[in-house]
Chains A and B, each alone.
Chain A
Amino acid sequence: MHVAIVLILVAVGSVVFHFVSPWWWTPIASNWGYIDDTIIITFWITGVVFVGVMLFMAYCVIRYRFKKDRRAEYEPENTKLEVWLTVLTSIGVVVMLTPGLFVWNQFVTVPDDAVEVEVMGQQWQWSFRYPGEDGVLGTTSIANFDGDNTFGLNPDDANGQDDILIEGDDLHLLLGQPVKILLRSIDVLHDFYVPQFRAKMDMVPGSVTYFWLTPTRTGTFDILCFELCGVGHYDMRGTVVVDEEADYLAWLQEQSTFAELMAEAGAGEAGDPVLRLTESEVGATENAVTQ
C-alpha cells in the first residue's frame, strides 16, 4: 500500500515542486517569448497527463489490491476505449506541435531589416565581427590566418576592409534591433548561447550557421559555449552587452576596422598584435589544463 501513497506523493509533490522551486527561466531579454509560451502549453498538457496517470495507478493499486478470493476481470480488448485514447492523445500532440511549428517558422525566417553580426569561436574564446559602414561582411578563409590576420579575412576583399573586429572584448548589441548572428568556428564545434536570449545554434567549422533575435532589454549577459569543445569547454565564456542607441554608437566608434588593424600591424614591426592571439590562446589552454 506504501506504493499507492508514494504514487500520490509523486504526482502532488512534482506539481508542488514545480510551483515552489526557485529554479526557473532566467528573465527573458529577447523576442523569443513565444518559445516560453510554447513550453507553458507543453507543461499544461503533459502535466495533466502525468498527474492523471499517477493518480489512476494509485487508485488501481488501492482498489484492486490482491485478494485471495477475487478474480481479475477478463476483458482482453476494448476497442472503443482504445480508439478514444488514441484520438485524445493525437489531439494533445497536435495542440503542442502546431504552435511549436509556427514559432519554428519564425525562428528560421530572418526579418529583412536584421543587421548581421558575426561570432567566431575557437578553443576556448569568442571573437566578434561587425560589417562596418558598408553593411557587408568580408569573406574569410582558413588559409588567410596568420599572426596579424586573426580572423582569416581575405585581404583582397573590399567588403572586409571596414569590418570591425572585436577580440578579447565584449559583444555589443543594439536594443530593439533585429540581428542575424552569423556563427563561424575555426577549429571544433562550439555553440553560442545566452540563456536570456533563449536562442542558440552550433558553430561548425567549414560552414557558417546562424540564428536571429531582437534584444528587448538592456543589460549585461553571459555567453556560454553549449557544445562540448574539449577540455576547456566549461571555461569558454564571454559577455554580451545590450545598449541603448547612443551608448551603442559611442562604443562602436571606438573600435578598429580590419584595415586599421592591418596597417597598425604593418607599422609596428615589433609585432605586438602578432603575439596577442598566440599568447591568449596558450594562456587559455594552460589555464584549462591545470585547473
Chain B
Amino acid sequence: MVTVAPDEGEFVAPAEVEDVELYHAKSFITKYVFSQDAKVIAIQYTATAASIGLVALVLSWLMRLQLGFPDSFSFIDPTDYYQFITMHGMIMVIYLLTALFLGGFGNYLIPLMIGARDMVFPYVNMLSYWVYLLAVLVLVASWFVPGGPTGAGWTLYPPQAILSGTPGAEGGILLMLISLALFIVGFTMGGLNYVVTVLQARTRGMTLMRMPLTIWGIFTATVLALLAFPALFVGAVMMTFDSVLGTSFFMPAMLEFGEALEYDGGSPILFQHLFWFFGHPEVYIVALPAFGIVSDLLSVHARRHIFGYRMMVWAIVGIGGLSFVVWAHHMYVSGMNPWFGFFFATTTLIIAVPTALKVYNWTLTLWKGNINLTIPMLFAIAFIVTFVHGGITGLFLGNVVVDVPLSDTMFVVAHFHMVMGVAPLMVVFGAVYHWFPLVTGKMLHEGMGKFHFWVTFVGAYVIFLPIHYLGFLGVPRRYYEMGDTTFIPESAGTLNAFVTVIVLIVGAAQMVFLYNVIVSAIRGKASERNPWKATTLEWQTAEFPPSHGNFGAEPPVVYRWAYAYGVPGVAEDFVPQNVPPAEVAMSGGDQEEPAPQPAE
C-alpha cells in the first residue's frame, strides 16, 4: 500500500542517482544566452512565450473590433479576420500555454521541487529552447511571405487549408506546418528531460507519493504531450506532402472553383482524427499543470494540506489516461460514422467524474482552512470559478446530441475560452505572483496586482458568460460578420460591441501586469526567504534566490509529504519537507511526538 504521508522519520531508501557534476558556465554567453541551467532556460521560455502571447492578445483585440463594430474598420477585411483568428488560436494553445506551462514552469520548478540540481540532460534542454525559439520565428515569418499567414482556423482542416479559397494557401500554411513540426521537435527534447528527471533525479526521501501536485501535473502532462504530439507531427508532414508533392492523404477527388484537381482517394476526416488525437490531450497538457499548480497555491495560502492527496494524484493520472479515448467528441458532426457518438459521449462524460472530484477537493482544501486572501489565492479561487464554469459547459458539448445544435457556434468559443484559456491563465498569473519572489528575490507590487486581478477575473467572466447565449441563439463562430439573418436580434450586435469594449479593457490590464513584473524585478520590495511559509523544497535552497546547482553542498533529504500545514502539536503552522523530525519545534514546549500523519 502506498503511504500518503509516512510517519515522521520513516526510512526511505536513498535515491539511486549519485549527485552529478554539473556543467559550470564561465562566460556571460554560456551563463545567460546558451545556458544549460534549467532556471535560465525557464526564464527564456517564459519571456519568449509572453512575447508571442502579446501578439495573440493584439490579434484578439483586432478580431473583437471587427465583431463588435462590423463595417467600421476598413483595414480588417475577411482575409485579415481569418488570419487573426487562426494565429490567435494557434499561438495561445501551442506557443503560449504549452510552452509556458512545460518549458517555463516545468523547467523552473521540476528540479527545485524534487530536490535535483538540474535537469538530467542539460544540453538537450538548452537545445529544446532554441528549437522552440526557431519555431516561433518561423511562425512570425509567415506574416512576411506573399499571401500572409494561414487563415484556415487553428484546426487547419484540409482540404481548405491548402486550397486557394483560404488565406495563406500560398506560403502561410507551409510555414505553419513547419513551425509546428519544429515546435514538436523542440518540445520532445524538453519533454524527455522532464520525464526522466522526475523519474530518476528525485532527492533522497522524495517518493512519488510525496511529490507536490505541481510536479504530478507537469509530469503527467509531459507524458501526454510525448504521446500526443507525434499524431500532430505526422498530420503536419502528410499535409505538407499533399500541398507540395501532390500526394492525396487528406485530399479526395474534388473541384477548386469549378476546376477538377489531380487529387483522388484521400480522406479529410483522417486529418481530423490525427488532429484531435493530439488536440484533446492537448487540452489536458495545458490543464494538468494548471491543476497541479493551483492545488499547491490553494494549500499554501489556505494554510491547509491539500484535501485527499492520493485521490488528487490518481485523478490526474486517470484524467490523463482517459484523455486519449475522447478525441472524437470534437467530431460528432464531422460526418464520421455516427455510431462512434455513443462511445465517445460515454467516455467524455466519464472523465467528468475525476475532474469533478478535483474541484471538490480544491474547495474542501479551503474548508476549515485558514485562508490568506493573497493575490495567488485570489487567482486560485478565480481559477475554480472559471474552470467549473467551463467544465460544466463541456458536459453540454460532450453529450453527443446536445453538441449537434451547439457545435461550431459561439457557445463552443465561450466554452473553450473559459476552460482552457481563462482558467489556466488564472493559474499562470497566480503562479507568477507566487513564485516571483523565488525567481527574483523581490515582491510584486500588491496594489497593481489587485487591480490586475479584479479587472482580469471579472472582465473575463463578463466577456464569456453572455457569449454562451449567443451560441444558443445560433450565432456561428468564425464569421467575419453576421450580416442579415431572420433569427438574430439587434441586441446581439449591442452585446458584441459591449464585449469588445471589455476585451480592450482586460487586454490593457495585462499591460499593468507586465509593467509590474518588469519594474518589481528591478526595484521591487525585497522578499524575505520563503515569504509564503511554504513547505516545498524550492523555498529551502542554500541561497535565495536559488543559484546554479540549487542546493549548495548537500542536496536536501525529504522526510514528509509536501502538505504538512497545520499539523497538530507543532509550533509553526507548516513543516518544510526537509526538516528532520527531531528538529521540528513542538508547541507548548512539551516534547510529545507530533500527531502522526495518516498512513495506510
Contact = CB atoms under 8 A, between A and B. Distances in A.
Interface of A: 1-3, 6-7, 10, 14, 17, 21-26, 32, 34-35, 38-39, 42, 46, 49-50, 53-54, 56-57, 60-61, 64-67, 70-78, 81-82, 85-86, 89-90, 93, 96-97, 100-101, 103-105, 107-108, 122-124, 141-143, 145, 183, 185-189, 191, 193, 195-196, 198-207, 209, 220-222, 224-235, 237, 277-278, 281-282, 285, 288-291
Given A6-B458, A73-B304, A206-B252, 14 more contacts: A7-B385, A26-B487, A35-B402, A57-B381, A64-B369, A71-B568, A71-B573, A73-B368, A103-B401, A105-B342, A187-B254, A222-B486, A231-B151, A233-B480
Interface stretch (B41-49, B186-194, B206-214, B392-400): B392-400
Interface string B367-389: 11111110000100100110011
A77 B4 contact: yes
Q: Which of B165, B256, B458, B598 has the most CB of A within 10 A?
A: B165
A186 B368 contact: no
A161 to B, nearest CB: 23
A71 B566 contact: yes
B483 A228 contact: no
B254 to A, nearest CB: 4
B278 interface: no
Contact of A231 (B79, B401, B402): B79
B4 A38 contact: no
A48 B478 CA distance: 32
B163 interface: yes
B448 to A, nearest CB: 17
15 contacts: A23-B473, A60-B363, A65-B373, A66-B373, A74-B304, A76-B597, A77-B309, A100-B400, A145-B258, A204-B334, A205-B254, A206-B266, A225-B476, A228-B152, A235-B483
A191 B465 contact: no
Contact of A24 (B78, B166, B256, B473): B473
A43 B294 CA distance: 27
A204 B401 contact: no
Nearest to B169: A230
A93 B350 contact: yes
A188 B153 contact: no
Nearest to B392: A46
A291 B77 contact: yes
A122 B4 CA distance: 60
Contacts of B346: 97, 101
A123 B165 contact: yes
B357 A57 contact: no
Nearest to A100: B399
B260 A70 contact: no
Interface of B: 4-5, 77-79, 82, 151-153, 155, 157, 159-160, 163, 165-167, 252-258, 260, 265-269, 302-305, 307-311, 333-335, 338-339, 341-342, 345-346, 349-350, 352-353, 356-357, 359-361, 363-364, 366-373, 378, 381, 384-385, 388-389, 392-393, 395-396, 399-402, 404-405, 407-409, 454, 457-458, 461, 465-466, 469-470, 472-474, 476, 478-483, 485-487, 489, 491-492, 495, 563, 565-568, 573, 595, 597-598
B399 A42 contact: yes
A230 B567 CA distance: 61
Contact of B487 (A65, A196, A234): A196
Contacts of A233: 82, 478-480
A230 B165 contact: yes
Q: Which of A17, A70, A195 has the most CB of B within 10 A?
A: A195
B342 A101 contact: yes
A47 B465 CA distance: 13
10 closest residue pairs by CB, A with B: A206-B252, A195-B474, A230-B165, A72-B304, A46-B392, A188-B160, A209-B335, A72-B566, A23-B469, A73-B368
Nearest to B160: A188
B371 A14 contact: no
A17 B367 contact: no
Contacts of A123: 165, 257
Contacts of B392: 46, 49-50
B549 to A, nearest CB: 33
B305 A76 contact: yes
Given A22-B489, A72-B369, A232-B165, A206 B255 contact: no
Contacts of B470: 23
A10 B366 CA distance: 18
Contact of A21 (B160, B257, B469): B469
B563 A100 contact: no
A77 B345 contact: no
Contacts of A221: 486-487
Contact of A195 (B155, B165, B473): B473
B269 A35 contact: no
A51 to B, nearest CB: 10
A134 to B, nearest CB: 27
A60 B474 contact: no
Q: Which of A53, A103, A278 has the most CB of B within 10 A?
A: A53
Given A21-B469, A38-B399, A82-B311, A72 B165 contact: no
Nearest to B252: A206
Contacts of B393: 46
B402 A38 contact: yes
A154 B476 CA distance: 35
B370 A71 contact: yes
B573 to A, nearest CB: 6
A134 B290 CA distance: 60
A89 B349 contact: no
B370 A186 contact: no
Given A35-B401, A39-B396, A82-B357, A187 B255 contact: yes
Nearest to A207: B335
Contacts of A77: 4, 307-311, 598
Contacts of A70: 370
Contacts of A86: 353, 357
Contact of A90 (B160, B311, B353): B353
A2 B458 CA distance: 12
A231 B465 contact: no
A66 B366 CA distance: 11
B159 A187 contact: yes
A288 B78 contact: yes
Contacts of B461: 10
Contacts of A201: 333, 335
A77 to B, nearest CB: 5
A100 B363 contact: no
A220 B597 CA distance: 69
A194 to B, nearest CB: 9
Nearest to B471: A23
Given A3-B373, A42-B402, A220 B486 contact: yes
A23 B363 contact: no
Q: Which of A122, A220, A282 has the most CB of B within 10 A?
A: A122
